[in-house]
Amino acid sequence: MDKILNRKSQNSINIRQFSMLIALVVIMALFQVLTKGILLTPQNVTNLIMQNSYVIVLAVGMLLCILSSGSIDLSVGSIVAFIGASIGEMVVVKGMNVWLSILIALLVGVVIGIWQGFWIAYMRIPAFIVTLAGMLIFRGLTLKVLNGMTISPFPADFNFISSGYLPNMGKAGFNVTAIVLGAVASLIYIYSAINKRIGRRKHGFEVSSPVLFILQIVIVVGVIALCSIWLARYKGISVLLVFMLFLVIVYSFFTSKTVPGRYLYAMGGNEKAAILSGINTNKVLFLVFINMSVLSALAGVVFTSRLQAATPTAGTNFELDAIAACFIGGASATGGVGTIVGAVIGALVMGVLNNGMSIMGVGSDITMTIKGLVLLIAVVFDVVSKKRGAKV
């Protein structure tokens, strides 16, 4: 009987872990039918990645905020706009070097993070209040820098960030580079998944059942293969996609394989226990919000490059998209629970909903309503799953 209960508990844990990945595949299949095949055309898949690049960057940073203390950063959208305005002023108006301007913009992100992190971590003013103030401050500064005007056009070097592609190793018409990199990514994933499973068994941790484990690998490899083929039929792998994958890999490694990364989970699970364990929680929280501001600055660079203009309205509601992506991807509102990959999946769920309903001609009112319901359902599912797990 105990074995049956343990297996049910174990399967429940893994179903929660991979439910959003399955949901993403189902949503994509549904919209592929509803849009009469337009959703997964090669060009639209590329557009889907480009359109959600800034959300993924912001979601990665937001997840760290949520992990460490259950806090959210409401200022990220305004920081995106302010950084875009600053780059526009430096590059277009003053004619400064593109890469120097980007470096200065990232340093501005560090300064903003230090400013907000100080009040949150050391003065212990709630993050909601500090970042709400930041949202108003940096939106106001954006309007001041731009004088209510749009700055454009940007030089080709800057626009390459969002429009450049890796060279094709094959003939024109089909990008071999995308297929090769997709195959490499699949092999790396299979190896890491098997290695992780062996490691967990060796140390006595729970592992998923063989059926769920194989299903997980099949779904992930299938998604990678599908994306590779679709990208190969258009222009191949974009520079922006390579950057995002690099970002996701680095932060996934940081949160799961490093001691500072584990501090985030320990602090989010029980801050008092973390303090007693010798963790400097003030420093951790301080660095988390610096990181969030730097990633917001990075998202500002990416979004401005994609838009090819700096506008006063840039970044509107970006913070809501990032927060929703984290919670849809499995993060807990109380902190200590969540993964980088989960946040990325959550961002893609939101992106597919946006893109699919846009293709179908659904109005923004209905789109926002459905996105809100998806967010609520994801959080309710998480809460109910935890309650059932506690009973088992």
Residue 165, phi then psi, degrees to nearest 5: -130, 155
User: What pLDDT does residue 110 have?
Assistant: 97
Min mean pLDDT across 73-77, 186-190, 224-228, 277-281 is at 224-228
Tell me how far apart the alpha carbons of residues 378 and 346 are, in angstroms, rounded to a whole number: 10
User: What pLDDT does residue 386 have?
Assistant: 62
pLDDT (tens digit, 9 = 90+) per residue, 262-290? 999 999 888 889 998 899 999 999 999 99
Tell me how far apart the alpha carbons of residues 3 and 79 are, in angstroms, rounded to a whole number: 52
Tell me how far apart the alpha carbons of residues 250 and 17 are, in angstroms, rounded to a whole number: 20
Q: Give the pLDDT band (50/70/90) at residue 232.
A: confident
Contacts of 376 (CB under 8 A, 6+ apart): none
Comparing 320 with 174, the larger pLDDT belongs to 320
Contact 269, 336 (CB under 8 A): yes
Contact 88, 310 (CB under 8 A): yes
User: What pLDDT does residue 1 have?
Assistant: 40
Residue 153: cis peptide before it, omega within 30 degrees of 0? yes
User: What pLDDT does residue 200 have?
Assistant: 78
User: What pLDDT does residue 220 have?
Assistant: 83
Is residue 2 scored above 50 in pLDDT?
Answer: no
Q: Rounded mean pLDDT of the chain? A: 86
Encoded tokens for 270: 């029980």
Is residue 12 scored above 50 in pLDDT?
Answer: no
Contact 116, 289 (CB under 8 A): yes
pLDDT (tens digit, 9 = 90+) per residue, 152-178? 899 988 988 888 888 887 676 678 888
Q: First CA to last CA across the chain, in angstroms?
A: 12
User: What pLDDT does residue 231 have?
Assistant: 84
User: What pLDDT does residue 162 have?
Assistant: 86
Q: 39-53, 56-70, 156-170: which has the highest mean pLDDT?
A: 56-70
Residue 95, phi then psi, degrees to nearest 5: 70, 30
